[in-house]
Structure 1
């Protein structure tokens, strides 16, 4: 009987002991320490953690040799590097203002091992001389394209309208290129509106590096909607063009102006104009004067061959381009010429810069236009257009632009009226406050 009694007590004690032990284990779980190692910094294909990283910019007067010598690479080695990589990269062409990165040893000497020359934020040339084998190659960062939609209204000028929306003037220039045959951007009217669908480029996911194609656009100018769609109609040439909503090519044989932005027409073609420089006598003005800031780039308005490039008399520095057997154009009073006789220039190429050479009272380019050897007013001429899209391609084109047009039309305009009203109210409030303060 006693044996049974003691056995029962032992069982109860054992059960109590193990349950308490289990509870104790649950109350105080063991902590496991895990060491988290930082991820290595990988850039341009190298582990930057293994090097002393030196970022700098090429100064005026510095050369590739001077930079490497400062980082403990001696001239026999520099000459060997320059000779080995000359077919890939000419070290004599490094330019002041360009950023570069040197990967050097982590010892006290900090001797350069790798030189990264940055052409721009996307493209670089990497020169690796850390081993006995010297190499140079191009490196391009991965670019991400993000589609954007914007709509805006012109208050004073188009460039400011783009800036107000948070985008750079480069985007304004790209739009101006599309409409350069049909819209005079200097003569945009207040309350002209626009909508754009375009690509913005990024590196490292968040750093903007410019813009890709403008896929579609519409400009409401003088009450007329001007659509533009980026489309490859000629698969043989492989060059996309911009067409309107009726499959008409926006490109024309001649641009409307040899100046892209920031100009005004200070004097038009006028055979009865009086000129102060010639004693206010009547002297025919057979050109159109585009006044612009000194040094503004001058473009050729159509493709052709340079037949004159000289400095002579009242013309000053000038260039003349022959476009075909019918048309030629001339550009006078340049600060400096960029092209020589015999050069072939594409429409929109820069051929010189606005100056004050020759007979001129202010910086401008006198644009002269020849038709069949006679100077005429280009703004009164019915100039030839580029070849339209062939009829067989139109159905496919209309199918392509249908969703883009729907997308464009659905982009809302910013409610700037409310913003303008707020600005006006704030101005009126400030004026009232000033009047109260001014009262005795």
Structure 2
């Protein structure tokens, strides 16, 4: 009897265990671009060469008439015709049998994106991903190149650009030496606190080249443009009014001369420019701020751009494969205005850089060119107070040795 009672009790417990309902695990909520993606059928893709907004919409079931209506309503704020190959996009579709597209989200860059509402209420909105800023200190040493020095520490090559941009007037980066050292204090941008999104700004740097330290401190001396520049530990501007060259060139293939045998015309004539050889497609930069007074094509010059910097100085850039600016446009020093080519009278890819002083063509390498905006005497005490903690911070970072 006791055994029977025990058995019955065990069966009751077993039955109780089987009938107890289990708690279902709720799906995690996925959010992106300000939307709860769980509420939509999500299409992720990248714009390929040959794609255009209409073809993407057609592939997702949006009729041509609707596409035209969308484009007409948003064209003043967002031009769908200018979407670029290689950019990522997302389409959020309704979770119904028709899978009706509700939103088109286009990534302008890692941070900025555009939301295009495709339903009855058509609108466009420019938005940004949440970005956090992190301060970093680094130290490096050149063994073969600046790029390799960055890569050895797992650092972004964007820092190569930052350093070369800061020191382009004082250090020849084609002549770096093994053992040259550098230190930087700068800020990085991160999306959602984890995804690297670029360099926010460089506060200070020191580059020891051939045993000599070159300090650089970010400071806003020009209160009119409110554009900061870099100055050394003696308050001298690192920036020159003109860049030394309009591009990162392979070599100078021909210098300014009053007598040169022209390789195409096969005759002796003056060559009133400096030829920088570089691969086709290499970006060409304006060597100083100014206004584009010509962006055109001639049989001799090929595609060319001419920039007036002030009443005294004008520059011209010849033989471009493609021009990137229009007449009347204001350009800043270092801005890309075109790309290296071999249009016009040219035997190979290069840019012929021409330089005018008071309307007369001159050799830029023989000119005593002005420096950038200097720090006024009235601001020097403030400047030295500003850089003091930054210099101390730099000096406390140990130099890296190979």
Band of TM-score, shorter chain: 0.7 to 0.9
Show the counterpart of 2:165: 177
Select the residue among 112, 116, 141 that pairs with 2:101.
112
Larger CA deviation: 287-296 vs 209-218:
287-296
Whole-Å separation in 2 of the counterparts to 1:269 and 1:65: 51
Per-residue deviation, residues 305-341 of structure 1 (Å, max 9, x unmatched): 3445454465444433332333222323333333455
Whole-Å separation in 2 of the counterparts to 1:257 and 1:394: 31
Show the counterpart of 2:373: 387
Show the counterpart of 2:130: 142
Select the residue among 290, 296, 317 that pairs with 2:276.
290
Show the counterpart of 1:133: 121
Shift of residue 212, structure 1, vs aligned partner: 0.8
Write out aligned runs for 1:272-421 (5 A): 284-312=270-298, 315-416=301-402
Tell me: CA distance 1:356–1:68, structure 2 relative to 1, closer, same or farther (3 Å).
closer
Write out aligned runs for 1:153-164 (5 A): 153-164=141-152
Could you state the TM-score of these two structures normalised by the residue count of structure 1?
0.77
Tell whether the 8 Å contact from 2:140 to 2:401 is kept in structure 1 after alignment: no
Tell whether the 8 Å contact from 2:106 to 2:114 is kept in structure 1 after alignment: yes
Tell me: CA distance 1:219–1:315, structure 2 relative to 1, closer, same or farther (3 Å).
same
Per-residue deviation, residues 169-215 of structure 1 (Å, max 9, x unmatched): 33222222222232232233333222111111111221111111011
Runs (5+) with no aligned partner, structure 2: 1-19
Tell whether the 8 Å contact from 2:54 to 2:67 is kept in structure 1 after alignment: yes
Tell whether the 8 Å contact from 1:186 to 1:262 is kept in structure 2 after alignment: no
Runs (5+) with no aligned partner, structure 1: 1-30, 417-440
Whole-Å separation in 2 of the counterparts to 1:184 and 1:172: 13
More helix by share: 1
Tell whether the 8 Å contact from 1:186 to 1:264 is kept in structure 2 after alignment: no
Whole-Å separation in 2 of the counterparts to 1:339 and 1:137: 27
Q: How many residues align?
A: 383
1:214 equivalent in alignment to 2:199 = no
Shift of residue 273, structure 1, vs aligned partner: 5.8
Structure of larger gyration radius: 1
Whole-Å separation in 2 of the counterparts to 1:351 and 1:136: 30
Whole-Å separation in 1 of the counterparts to 2:137 and 2:352: 39
Tell me: CA distance 1:158–1:263, structure 2 relative to 1, closer, same or farther (3 Å).
farther
- What RMSD over aligned residues (CA atoms) do the two structures have, in Å? 3.0
Shift of residue 143, structure 1, vs aligned partner: 0.7
1:193 equivalent in alignment to 2:181 = yes
Which structure is richer in relative contact order (CA contacts within 8 A, separation 6 or more)? 2
Tell whether the 8 Å contact from 2:141 to 2:401 is kept in structure 1 after alignment: no
Could you state the TM-score of these two structures normalised by the residue count of structure 2?
0.83
More strand by share: 2
Select the residue among 77, 83, 87 that pairs with 1:94.
83
Whole-Å separation in 2 of the counterparts to 1:310 and 1:51: 49
Show the counterpart of 2:212: 224
Tell whether the 8 Å contact from 2:263 to 2:347 is kept in structure 1 after alignment: no
1:250 equivalent in alignment to 2:238 = yes
Write out aligned runs for 1:262-281 (5 A): 262-271=249-258
